[in-house]
A and B are shown apart, each in its own frame.
Chain A
């Protein structure tokens, strides 16, 4: 059975940092591109970043470039998103997802990140 379990969501002050994690099982994590997608309260989905199976390529949406870093540890079947210099515009539920033929077939349960003083 496939499981994608996220952790790390929290309330953080503006300018602060947070690290999200996703632990994956039930599929060949080390062969899969992985992505982060977020959804602001009451808004649509927004792709945030992705990382190649071996970690050699990483891509980001412009609004987070230079502030967010995606990484992975294939020995632990885990995906990470380090978020720095957080602002109110980063308040959202963050999902990790496996890429499958240009889509996302396995999703984590979502982690709420609230940026507020």
Chain B
């Protein structure tokens, strides 16, 4: 099973909004709502940011939101902050496949 496709990098200035896409197929993203997003700082374990496409776990800032359209899911970070600089990965539980990962840079 191939990895889900994400842009290698996305950048934005503090306060701006950015969106990270995650493209799959009708067998994973498009067919099921078990899509989640993870934030990972260097040398640290991943942290769950969004589950089941749009749900935020307790303790995760409401600046993070998820959505899905067809075979593409998206993570939006609004009000970008310095601490948001990290790697972000999507995941489809239907096929147990992660995305290729996106490095977010805060300019």
Interface stretch, picked from B11-19, B69-77, B90-98, is B90-98
Q: Are A100 and B51 in contact, with the CB atoms below 8 A? A: yes
Q: Are A101 and B38 in contact, with the CB atoms below 8 A? A: no
> When chains A and B are docked, how far (Å) is the Cα of A103 from the Cα of B46?
11
Q: Is B10 an interface residue (CB 8 A)?
A: no
Number of CB contacts from chain A to chain B under 8 A: 60
Scan B80-107; emit 1 where CB is below 8 A from any A CB, else 0: 0000000001010110111111000000
By beta carbon, the residue of chain B nearest A6 is B45
Scan B49-60; emit 1 where CB is below 8 A from any A CB, else 0: 001100101000
A61, A101, A110 — which one has the most chain B CB atoms within 10 A of its CB? A101
User: Which residues from B are CB-within-8-Å of A104?
Assistant: 36, 38, 46, 48, 91
Number of interface residues of B (CB under 8 A): 24
> When chains A and B are docked, how far (Å) is the Cα of A95 from the Cα of B99?
17
User: Which residues from A are CB-within-8-Å of B46?
Assistant: 37, 45, 95, 104, 107
Q: Is A105 an interface residue (CB 8 A)?
A: yes
> When chains A and B are docked, how far (Å) is the Cα of A61 from the Cα of B1?
9
User: Which residues from B are CB-within-8-Å of A66?
Assistant: none
Known A95-B46, A103-B51: A44·B100 in contact at CB below 8 Å: yes
By beta carbon, the residue of chain A nearest B97 is A47
A59, A99, A103 — which one has the most chain B CB atoms within 10 A of its CB? A103
Known A45-B91, A95-B46: A102·B51 in contact at CB below 8 Å: yes
Please give 18 more A-B residue pairs, beta carbons under 8 A apart, in addition to A37-B46, A102-B35, A102-B93: A44-B99, A45-B38, A45-B46, A46-B98, A47-B97, A47-B98, A50-B96, A59-B96, A61-B96, A101-B51, A102-B32, A102-B94, A103-B34, A103-B93, A104-B46, A105-B51, A107-B46, A107-B47
- What is A's interface to B at a CB cutoff of 8 Å? 37, 44-47, 50, 59, 61, 95, 99-105, 107-110
